[in-house]
């Protein structure tokens, strides 16, 4: 492993600490009786409190000034200044703990524990006067050097690739990042408290499923060796929660990890969190009011107001929200009435609107494309889009007034879907027919069409009461409530492309690569002449580039050609 100069110095300091008899990674408990925030908020000079404090944290800065120095440590609640005095740290003749350990062998990023008392400096800053300190962890990699001056941050750790891949560093040097995740937990806690007040039961359903049902999505597949069967990571937990309603529960909900083997972008991650809730003897109209209450409660819990900044917009979650049918929305924004249209007629409408289609798309997907391309982005303030065509909703009860539609809504916020809900289909015969329609779509090449779940159909045949269900994306809700532009900002560890290892090239390899970038592909002999390298150096350079997969050599009828691959 190649080490930087700083990493080599830190390992040398580690060795020196051990030579002094100091364990840089002690196993025993370090008892803490105060935190940085507690001291800063509650310290009172008149009360003379916090005179025997023990706290621990990571060194974020040091100012060495002879026999007296300052440092700043960061614990889980924030940062606080420390004052070190050599003669108090080392009252006897042996000054090694200050002169050597503190001044020479500790670095920014190391974790220490300190004992001392709180006081206010002449500059008015609450500080801990250190009497004793202990090394709790010697860090071997330097933290990014984030500098602050007059409230402005310089050289911040801002590269998204590094931040998402090394979230542990991001959390250390960018304190506001932690606040997003604290709010995420508060969102879930607020929702859970509300559901429990209603008397609904939190449950768990299988993640590994023999049939990936409950949504139209491409699943991840694996193999169970002992049973010798394929299993799928769930794309939704809907069908299992509805089985529990069949079993007699009045209301059930789950905060579920779902997985969809699809593309990644600023609003989608292959692994994501959804809350799904199902309540017996309710319909989608009742669920609209319930969903409004969730959003309003969450906004108030996080911000103390229903108005939340999201990009350039102020989103107001104050209830109630407008209700617009999908047919009305499409007619308003495209001029076309999709009511009663055949698949061919819908395909023709897509062509006129400039929307790409393919032969695998049925009526449901065509309508979904029209709405997504031409309507969705118009709904910035919370709006319920209702009454979806039956082809778009295989698990939804037909509309009580128009059998071509279903009793379904999606809550749109900032031009994106936030929640999806139905009056649940509980007619087993109709449900079987809908699944069979999905099977036909699958045979046409739609790899997101739903599987037929025979056990779920059997459950419906035992009888499921009238039920309404709703799912809300926790990741997206967190994005909206914390003004985060990307889903990666609200996931501790988002899925990333494999990390590319840095390739160190020789000077000859660099020269050949630059020539290749100018003209590629190029005749191998012509390129060799351009380089002016000897046969030995040429062979070594071209082999190095092909080994690193930066170039490739191909034989054609006209001879050997070299081209850039990266």
Q: Inform me whether the pLDDT recorded for 152 exceeds 70.
A: no
Q: Domain 5-143 belongs to what topology?
A: OB fold (Dihydrolipoamide Acetyltransferase, E2P) (2.40.50)
Report CA dihedral (43, 47, 48, 52) to the nearest 10 degrees: -70
Q: Inform me whether the pLDDT recorded for 151 exceeds 90.
A: no
pLDDT in tens, 306-330: 999 999 999 999 999 999 999 999 9
pLDDT in tens, 23-62: 999 999 999 999 999 999 999 999 999 999 999 999 999 9
Domain range annotation of the chain: 5-143, 178-322+381-489, 507-564
At 391, give phi and psi (nearest 5°): -65, -20
Give the residues across from 81 on adjacent strands: 72, 127
Residue 470 in tokens: 């709703």
Give me the mean pLDDT over the 347-371 stretch. 91
Q: Inform me whether the pLDDT recorded for 295 exceeds 60.
A: yes
For the chain, percent of residues with pLDDT exceeding 90: 72
User: What is the residue-averaged pLDDT of the chain?
Assistant: 93
- DSSP-assigned letter for residue 414: T
- Residue 509 has a CB neighbour count (10 Å cut-off) of 21
Is residue 237 a contact partner of residue 188, using CB atoms and an 8 Å limit?
no
- The SS3 assignment for 201 reads strand
Is residue 311 a contact partner of residue 481, using CB atoms and an 8 Å limit?
no
Higher pLDDT, 263 or 23: 23
Give me the mean pLDDT over the 486-490 stretch. 95
Q: Inform me whether the pLDDT recorded for 449 exceeds 80.
A: no
- The SS3 assignment for 310 reads strand
Q: Inform me whether the pLDDT recorded for 153 exceeds 70.
A: no
The domain covering 178-322+381-489 belongs, at the CATH homologous superfamily level, to: Bira Bifunctional Protein; Domain 2 (3.30.930.10)
- pLDDT class of 391 with cuts at 50, 70, 90: confident
Per-position DSSP letters for 355-406, written without gaps between them: ----TT--HHHHHHHHHHHHTGGG--S-EEEE--BGGG-TTBPBPSS-TTBB
pTM, full prediction: 0.84
Higher pLDDT, 446 or 23: 23
- Residue 417 labeled ligand binder: yes
Give me the mean pLDDT over the 413-441 stretch. 92
Give the residues across from 135 on adjacent strands: 112
Pairing of strands 229-233, 208-209: antiparallel
**Would you report the helix, strand and coil content of the chain in percent, each value rounded to 5?**
35, 25, 35
Q: Inform me whether the pLDDT recorded for 147 exceeds 70.
A: no
- pLDDT class of 488 with cuts at 50, 70, 90: very high
What was the pLDDT predicted at 445?
73
Q: Nearest to residue 72, comparing CAs of 29, 34, 109?
A: 109
Higher pLDDT, 519 or 469: 469
Task: Identify the weakest region by mean pLDDT among 46-60, 291-305, 330-344, 539-553.
Answer: 539-553
What was the pLDDT predicted at 359?
87
- Residue 161 labeled ligand binder: no
What was the pLDDT predicted at 363?
86
Give the residues across from 257 on adjacent strands: 273
CA angle 84/85/89 to nearest 5° reads 90
Place of tokens 């364990």: 23
Give me the mean pLDDT over the 236-249 stretch. 96
Q: Nearest to residue 47, comparing CAs of 35, 39, 56, 55?
A: 39
- What whole-number distance in Å separates Cα of residue 417 and Cα of residue 422? 14
In CATH, the number for domain 507-564 is: 1.10.10.10
Q: Report CA torsion sign: 201, 207, 209, 215.
A: positive
- pLDDT class of 156 with cuts at 50, 70, 90: low
Is residue 275 a contact partner of residue 474, using CB atoms and an 8 Å limit?
yes
- What whole-number distance in Å separates Cα of residue 472 and Cα of residue 410? 10
């Amino acid at each position: 492993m190649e080490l930087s100069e700083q990493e080599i110095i830190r390992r040398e300091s580690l060795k020196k600490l051990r030579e002094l008899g100091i364990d840089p990674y002690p196993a025993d408990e370090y008892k803490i009786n105060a935190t940085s925030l507690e001291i800063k908020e509650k310290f009172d000079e008149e009360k003379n409190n916090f005179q025997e404090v023990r706290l621990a944290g990571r060194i974020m800065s040091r100012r060495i000034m002879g026999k007296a120095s300052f440092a700043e440590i960061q614990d889980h609640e924030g940062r606080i200044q420390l004052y070190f005095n050599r003669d108090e740290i080392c009252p006897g003749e042996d000054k090694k703990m200050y002169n050597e350990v503190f001044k020479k062998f500790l670095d920014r990023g190391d974790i220490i524990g300190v004992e001392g008392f709180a006081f206010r400096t002449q500059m008015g800053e609450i500080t801990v006067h250190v009497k004793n300190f202990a090394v709790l962890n010697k860090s071997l990699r330097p933290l990014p050097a984030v500098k602050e001056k007059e409230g402005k941050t310089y050289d911040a750790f801002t590269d998204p690739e590094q931040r998402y891949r090394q979230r542990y560093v991001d959390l250390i040097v960018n304190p506001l990042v932690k606040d997003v995740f604290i709010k995420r937990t508060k969102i879930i806690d607020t929702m859970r408290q509300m559901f429990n007040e209603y008397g609904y039961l939190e449950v768990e359903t299988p993640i590994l499923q023999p049939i990936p049902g409950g949504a139209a999505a491409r699943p991840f597949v694996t193999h169970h060796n002992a049973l010798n069967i394929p299993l799928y990571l769930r794309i939704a937990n809907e069908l299992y929660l509805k089985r529990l309603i069949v079993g007699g529960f009045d209301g059930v909900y789950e905060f579920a990890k779902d997985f969809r083997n699809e593309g990644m972008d600023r609003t989608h991650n292959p692994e994501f969190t959804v809350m799904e809730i199902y309540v017996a003897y309710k319909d989608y109209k009742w669920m609209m009011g319930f969903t409004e209450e969730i959003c309003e409660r969450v906004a108030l819990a996080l911000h103390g107001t229903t108005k939340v900044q999201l990009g350039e917009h102020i989103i107001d979650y104050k209830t109630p929200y407008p209700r617009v049918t999908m047919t009305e929305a499409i007619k308003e924004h495209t001029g076309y009435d999709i009511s009663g249209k055949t698949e061919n007629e819908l395909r023709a409408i897509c062509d006129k609107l400039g929307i790409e289609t393919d032969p695998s798309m049925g009526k449901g997907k065509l309508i979904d494309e029209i709405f997504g391309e031409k309507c969705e982005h118009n709904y910035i303030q919370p709006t319920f889009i209702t009454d979806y065509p039956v082809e778009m909703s295989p698990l939804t009860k037909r509309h009580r007034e128009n059998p071509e539609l279903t009793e379904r809504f999606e809550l749109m916020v900032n031009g994106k879907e936030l929640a999806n809900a139905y009056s649940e289909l509980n007619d087993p015969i109709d449900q079987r027919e809908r699944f069979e329609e999905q099977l036909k779509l699958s045979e046409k090449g739609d790899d997101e069409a739903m599987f037929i779940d025979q056990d779920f159909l059997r459950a419906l045949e035992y009888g499921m009461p009238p039920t309404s269900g709703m799912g809300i994306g926790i990741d997206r809700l967190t994005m909206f409530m914390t003004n985060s532009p990307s889903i990666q900002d609200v996931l501790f560890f988002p899925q990333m492309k494999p990390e590319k290892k840095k390739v160190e090239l020789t000077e000859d390899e660099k020269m050949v690569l630059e020539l290749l970038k100018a003209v590629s592909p190029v005749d191998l002999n012509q390129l060799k002449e351009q380089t002016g390298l000897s046969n030995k150096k040429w062979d070594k350079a071209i082999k190095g580039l092909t080994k690193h997969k930066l170039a490739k050599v191909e034989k054609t009828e006209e001879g050997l050609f070299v081209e850039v691959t990266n």
